[in-house]
Amino acid sequence: MTTEPATGGPRVHWAWVVAATSFLAILAAAGFRSVPGVLMDPLHMEFGWSHATIGAAMSVNMTLFGLTAPFSAALMDRFGIRPVLVGALALIASGTALSVVMTASWQLILLWGVLVGLGTGAISMGFVATVATRWFVERRGVVTGILTAASATGQLIFLPVVARISTSSGWRWAAVVVALAALVVIVPVVVFIRDHPADRGLRALGDVESATPTSVTTVTGPPRGSFAVAFDGLLIGARTRAFWLLAGSFAICGATTNGLIGTHFIPAAGDHGMPTTVAAGLLATIGIFDVAGTVFSGWLTDRVDPRILLVVYYLGRGVSLVALPTLLSPHAEPSTWVFITFYGLDWVATVPPTIAFCRLYFAERTPIVFGWVFAAHQLGAAVAAFGAGYVRDADGRYDLAFYVAAGLCVVAAGLCAALRKPERSLGESAPGKPVVDMSA
């Protein structure tokens, strides 16, 4: 285990403390991700809102979730990670808690869409990339996988709780539980989060090149000071063909996970007679396999060409989505468990290799540039969240949405197959310029 450069003997490197606290923050933010699918039918029954209307609120949420990511990276660079995380958790708690008194669909869009969307967007994959890039040289892929898996862990913890509370005590109490969880996590964030290893007199984990810990006090990332940094990240990325390939494939990733399955799996299972608690348990089980799959994907990313991993992941996901309509039934049949296992392992396994490709091209600019790639992920999720609800209202079932998503996965695999490594692999670029893209 890596140790601190201190005289008191071996101790856990503070990078792991920051990673653990970041895991808790992402987990708390993910608590809200378990709410919409479970509460869609209760809201429909109480207020008469259509699946498309509730899906529209989630579309706003997912859009802001994605678009906030690159700006939150700039805010973290300007004000520090800790205050941004505290503000984000407060927004999640406020939007979720206030929803217990809403009476109109526009309030659902304001609270779940705008407030929670901004809050969760600040604790997203851009944040994961920031922590992994600043605090880790060794184990970076594994840490990326672990932090990415925090969302699945939140789903695993909250989904059964939210489903049970909603069934026994009503959806309002379920919303209160999620809001309280977000507030509780503020405490360890304030106590343990630090911006840079130098704040603890350390080097990043695995950094053996710096002569002294203080040598890392110079931040090599983007200049601090304004939201222009976020737009600069978009311009830097837009100059490369790889950015558009990654953004396009990641948009499909979002559409086929958060937008479709994360939002609509429970009501889709309900259409086949499956009780909400059973469907929520299955979706939570996806979270179990997601943790294993994402961490393993991070391990593979340190050893295997990330392009190969992405192609395999997307093709496998497409096959599972084609089969899903025939697997849903009133009970969790063995064939349903096959889907849950496979889809769980694949859910966000795409994140570590996608971030790895961003690092190949953008080096120290990775957190902000990847924030824009992740924005594409959430835009795809937003389209699917509304689109699948619209299909359900029009056809009375979700089959067409699943088939379209499967076809999109094949497209994503093709986009990833077209990726090429840059001329200067893992090299650092001149300020404001990406490494040379040889695939253009």
Compute the distance between CA of residue 308 and CA of residue 300 in angstroms, rounded to an integer. 11
pLDDT of residue 209: 64
Burial group, residue 106, by CB count within 10 angstroms (0-12, 13-18, 19+): exposed
Q: What is the mean pLDDT of each run of 10 residues along the chain (440 residues)?
A: 43 85 86 75 86 84 80 79 90 91 91 88 79 82 78 75 85 89 90 85 73 41 55 83 93 91 88 88 81 84 89 93 90 86 84 86 78 86 89 90 95 93 52 45
pLDDT of residue 220: 41
Superfamily of domain 14-206+221-417: MFS general substrate transporter like domains (1.20.1250.20)
pTM of model > 0.75? no
From start to end of 56-131, where are the E strands?
A: none
pLDDT of residue 424: 55
Cβ–Cβ < 8 Å for 317, 297: no
DSSP conformation class of 11: -
Cβ–Cβ < 8 Å for 362, 237: yes
Q: Following DSSP, what letter does each residue of 145-186 receive, concatenated?
A: HHHHHHHHHHHHHHHHHHHHHHHHH-HHHHHHHHHHHHHHTH
pLDDT of residue 355: 85
